Amino acid sequence: MLTGIGIMLLTFVVMEVVAWAMHKYVLHGFLWFLHKSHHTRHQHTFELNDLFFAWYGTLAMLFFVFGSEPIDYRFWIGAGITLYGVAYFLIHDVFIHRRIKAVGRTSNVYLKALNMAHKVHHKVTAKDGSESFGMLWVSPRYFKAASEVVNKKDRRGAVHH
């Protein structure tokens, strides 16, 4: 069981590397025609880019199916992919893009840095010229900028007697 949890956590970490490479070289490469829906304004709930979520869901399901009788390492890889998918949905779709309007603003430096990096990524609406392709890893420069914003708000909101 402990080995399985280790495999799941390792898979979660590896998924960030996979997601970064897929985003940079595949989504902003030959599958741009699907991903471009995510870089354009639209009024509908779903976008062609959501097909990638289905791809990773199918991949996780296959790992679960082929690793469950008896439970082996493939089951735990499927669990790691699923865990990453849940994190992706909550951070990217709910928090950053507000596809579900239930989440408000935050003063958490890490979440603010993620949001800033993603906004910079979306500044470019074309296939080429974007930066910040990861989902959970953020360049230190965004941490610095987010920290300055949070500290500035803290100083303005402080009560001085």
Assign 133 a pLDDT band (cuts: 50, 70, 90): confident
The mean pLDDT of 50-72, rounded to a whole number, is: 94
Listed by start position, the domains of the chain span: 2-157
Which pLDDT belongs to residue 78?
A: 98
The mean pLDDT of 17-38, rounded to a whole number, is: 91
CA–CA separation, 84 and 17 (whole Å):
11
CA–CA separation, 139 and 84 (whole Å):
20
Q: Which residue has the higher pLDDT, 128 or 77?
A: 77
68-106 pLDDT tens trace = 999 999 999 999 999 999 998 888 888 887 777 766 677
Residue 119 is which amino acid?
Answer: K
DSSP string, 12-36: HHHHHHHHHHIIIIIIIIITHHHHG
